[in-house]
Chains A and B, each alone.
Chain A
Amino acid sequence: SSPEKKRTYIVHMAKSQMPASFDDHTRWYDSSLKSVSDSAELLYTYTNAIHGFSTRLTPEEAELLGNLPGIVSVLPELKYELH
């Protein structure tokens, strides 16, 4: 319940909306992330399965990120189990 408590989010990006000033989508992802959190880092950048990345954010940071241009969604990750 702490506002500072971070959790992992999977961030889907609209690759077609990448600003022309970026020549690499990873830099765009990182720039978007840094605009809402100085400390957050990319856990993974995804290329084939989705366009986007995963990172650790507070709920407030996640909400801010979700409002940025080019962000399709910011969804908390889920835990899976072996069958």
Chain B
Amino acid sequence: TTRTPEFLGLEKSADLFPESDSVSEVIVGVLDTGVWPESKSFDHTGLGPVPSNWRGECEFGTNFSSSNCNRKLIGARYFSRGYEAVLGPIDESTESKSPRDDDGHGTHTASTAAGSAVSGASLFGYASGKARGMATRARVAVYKVCWIGGCFSSDILAAIDKAIGDNVNVLSMSLGGGTSDYYRDSVAIGAFAAAEKGILVSCSAGNAGPSPYSLSNVAPWITTVGAGTLDRDFPAYVSLGNGLNISGVSLYRGDAFPNKMLPFVYAGNASNATNGNLCMIDTLIPEKVSGKIVLCDRGVSARVQKGAVVKAAGGAGMVLANTAANGEELVADAHLLPATAVGQKSGDVIKSYLFSDPNPTATILFEGTKVGIEPSPVVAAFSSRGPNSITPEILKPDVIAPGVNIIAGWSGSLGPTGLSTDMRRVGFNIISGTSMSCPHVSGLAALLKAAHPQWSPAALRSALMTTAYTQYKNGQSIQDVASGRPSTPFDHGAGHVDPAAALNPGLVYDLDVADYLGFLCALNYTSAQINMVARRNFTCDPAKKYSLTDLNYPSFSVPLQTAQSDSGSTVLKYSRTLTNVGSPGTYKVSVNLKSEAVKVSVEPKSLSFSELNEKKSYTVTFTANLMPSNTVSFGHIEWSEGTHVVRSPIAISWT
């Protein structure tokens, strides 16, 4: 991917990151739609022999053999038995029964995490530059689990099973399955086993935002990644016949209509369908759109599909307007016809013009790539949001990372829109989703793992979380594009990742399997349910007090019931243990919480560490007044010895 290495400070801080030899010992496993091995992102030039502990394989199948692997792409497997059991034999004329990626998504995520550096990358000239994965020297192993008909948990579990046996160090999974208890969720179950083996599991948070309680992959042994924007944009303006210029974005490249105003029509007025405004297939009347620019509303069908519908009906161009569901978030697409996407407010302005002018006209002006856009990052509207619906005491997502308009490797099987009618073929494509932010964190975790091979997955995640930032350089809070207001820990978790800072966090909140078993006991799981998650007979000690608030998590989520106490106030205690991974020092605590309803106290107020790996515990007491349902308060707890700042977000909610 281009730009994100600079945006994340990887280029500027290159000296801080581990030597290439240690990174090349780290293996990133990616569960996805497979891989396009011919992508330049999997060039192995300069890489030495595969790590000696590697046990994986490059499996044979449709248009794929062991010769497609190399010293970069060291493993490629596919898992289709569960899929075929449900949907019948794979039609090899439409999808490859092999690790080969016919979709593009898997090639994109794998190359984002650990793709080699490729000079001169771009999508039709957009986002041009040197594309690289986050961990350019790490090895890649792909596990194809998603097919045209979906991703089935029996296949996913089989892939995780193999990845653990193959000895991957990081597992990247940009997929999810809604919200089910951990013992029913194959990703959570497999991730538990992986974490126990020292594998960091990074998962996408989901694209169901901005609705609250919309997160996937919320198990505390998973690193859950939301999405933010970069400081890059692809402006394409709509110039209206009344002289107004409206901002939009587009990745269209081709013949446009420079300086030529065209008739402009609202799709809802060019269709007999009740949902004609959505530009669904076969809903536009060709006589009413031919040669015109058509305004379509976003929603229901794919954005690029709407462009194809307009084109098929004879339209000359398209303006795609967000609705309330997307607000002002602009996602650029490589449309098949001149087209641009505009926000809801802009869409309303355009509609007002369309409905008031008897002969509306417009043109679209494509401006290419712009960088240095501020503010950035902003939380993407689509990024799924907390609270955590399974365990409200665990704050999710953990962090956000770049996930909007990300360029990375693509499959040679299909065009950048993914439409069957798109005959264009590209080496790189620009797409958006928490699927794209997840592999950023996977690759960064690989870098951290190389720098600190002894750290547990929880310690690596803690480093990423406690060093994440929540403010821009000017001190303003990171914005949420969905609301236009400052984002909260339910949107961004601990904040936006800062990999250079994560290399040296000072202190970490560590966790091991015993902690997670205690967590399952605190959930009142039965022995059978614990066995399903943790693969062992484990009996919770009836004499021991298990508390969800004592899981040593690097963040604080405080769910309160509005009718929790007759006295009107509730007292909750959270205990945490910090491990020193830096120099000796005395850390002092500070609490920032803008709430009259909650008082926070921390004991002790300072912690002195004299040795590496020394552990010190503290307790946080939240004393909360009764508040109306849906009230929220946010803040953070910081420990600092003057050099390092170890920050944990606080999210308090009354339901």
**Partner among B187, B190, B438, B532 whose Cβ is within 8 Å of the Cβ of A12:** B532
A79, B153: Cβ atoms under 8 Å? yes
How distant is the Cα of A46 from the Cα of B32 in the complex, in angstroms? 19
B189 within 8 A of A: yes
Given contacts A10-B157, A56-B85, contact A78 B165 (CB under 8 A): no
List 17 additional contacts besides A79-B151, A83-B207; criterion CB under 8 Å: A7-B86, A12-B531, A16-B537, A44-B82, A46-B161, A49-B157, A49-B189, A50-B193, A50-B535, A54-B154, A54-B158, A78-B185, A79-B152, A80-B176, A80-B177, A80-B186, A80-B187
Chain B residues within 8 Å of A54, by CB = 81-82, 154, 157-158
Number of interface residues of A (CB under 8 A): 27
A10, B154: Cβ atoms under 8 Å? yes
A25 within 8 A of B: no
Chain B residues within 8 Å of A10, by CB = 153-154, 157, 186
Chain A residues within 8 Å of B434, by CB = 83
A42's nearest neighbour on chain B, judged by CB, is: B81
**Partner among B85, B150, B537 whose Cβ is within 8 Å of the Cβ of A8:** B85
Number of interface residues of B (CB under 8 A): 53
A36 within 8 A of B: no
Give me the 7 closest cross-chain CB pairs, A-B, nearest first: A54-B154, A48-B164, A83-B204, A80-B177, A49-B161, A83-B435, A49-B190
A83, B186: Cβ atoms under 8 Å? no
**Partner among B150, B164, B185, B204 whose Cβ is within 8 Å of the Cβ of A49:** B164
How distant is the Cα of A50 from the Cα of B189 in the complex, in angstroms? 7
> What is the interface of chain A, defined by CB distance below 8 A to chain B?
7-8, 10, 12, 14-16, 43-44, 46-51, 54, 56, 72-73, 75, 77-83
B206 within 8 A of A: yes
B32, A82: Cβ atoms under 8 Å? yes
B528's nearest neighbour on chain A, judged by CB, is: A72
B527's nearest neighbour on chain A, judged by CB, is: A72
Chain A residues within 8 Å of B189, by CB = 49-50
> What is the interface of chain B, defined by CB distance below 8 A to chain A?
32-33, 79, 81-82, 85-86, 105, 146, 150-158, 160-162, 164-165, 174-178, 180, 183-187, 189-190, 193-194, 197, 204-207, 216, 433-435, 438, 528, 531-532, 535, 537
Given contacts A43-B81, A78-B153, A83-B433, contact A48 B175 (CB under 8 A): no
B529's nearest neighbour on chain A, judged by CB, is: A73
How distant is the Cα of A65 from the Cα of B204 in the complex, in angstroms? 34
Determine how close the nearest CB of chain A comes to the CB of B526; give it in whole angstroms. 10
Chain A residues within 8 Å of B187, by CB = 80
**Partner among A47, A73, A81 whose Cβ is within 8 Å of the Cβ of B165:** A47
Determine how close the nearest CB of chain A comes to the CB of B602; give it in whole angstroms. 36
Chain B residues within 8 Å of A81, by CB = 150-151, 175-177
Chain A residues within 8 Å of B153, by CB = 10, 77-80
How distant is the Cα of A82 from the Cα of B147 in the complex, in angstroms? 10
Chain A residues within 8 Å of B528, by CB = 72-73
Given contacts A72-B528, A81-B151, A81-B176, contact A48 B185 (CB under 8 A): no
Determine how close the nearest CB of chain B comes to the CB of A46; give it in whole angstroms. 5
Determine how close the nearest CB of chain A comes to the CB of B56; give it in whole angstroms. 13
Determine how close the nearest CB of chain A comes to the CB of B117; give it in whole angstroms. 26
